Amino acid sequence: MVKPTEQELNIRLMDFGDVPQVFDIERNSFNDSSWSIDAFYHEVEKNEFAHYFIIEFNEKIIGYIGVWIVIDQAQVTTVAIDESYRGYGLGQLLLKYAMSYVQTKCEVMSLEVRVDNEIAQHVYTNLGFQYGGKRKNYYGEGEDAIVMWVNLNE
């Protein structure tokens, strides 16, 4: 797979019609712990706190990120890049976009990441996220999460 250039990529708000492609990426990325397709439809259509973005290459969705904005805090709910496009910095690009989007509305952004997902933790640390603690069994029995946060206005 050829690495797309930033000029070839498009990041935009996710809409109802994007859900099937997003769900395919979700299911292929997270297997048993993936969100249901109905959960994505609910987030896009009914959750007033939810802001979801997709990244496209050649009009194909290759990744997405979801963020909830509640008062002055943002929470990353989910993020994934299609397996064929991983390793090109697209997850970082998408997260930077989301951080920029919420920066005028929020002071802090947080997220959870699997304890064993060192690649994602490295990306988050490079973007200024700090360790905030652990959540036991967050992803199910025996799968803990690390909570990370960043002050957006520093």
- Which residues are catalytically annotated? 112, 124
- Angle of CA points 42, 44, 48, to nearest 5°: 85
Main-chain phi, psi angles of 141, to 5 degrees: -55, 120
DSSP strands (E only) in 1-154: 9-13, 50-57, 60-70, 73-81, 108-114, 130-135, 145-151
> Distance between CA atoms of 65 and 80, rounded to whole angstroms?
7
User: Strand pairing partners for 64?
Assistant: 54, 80
Alpha carbon distance 38, 138 (integer Å): 21
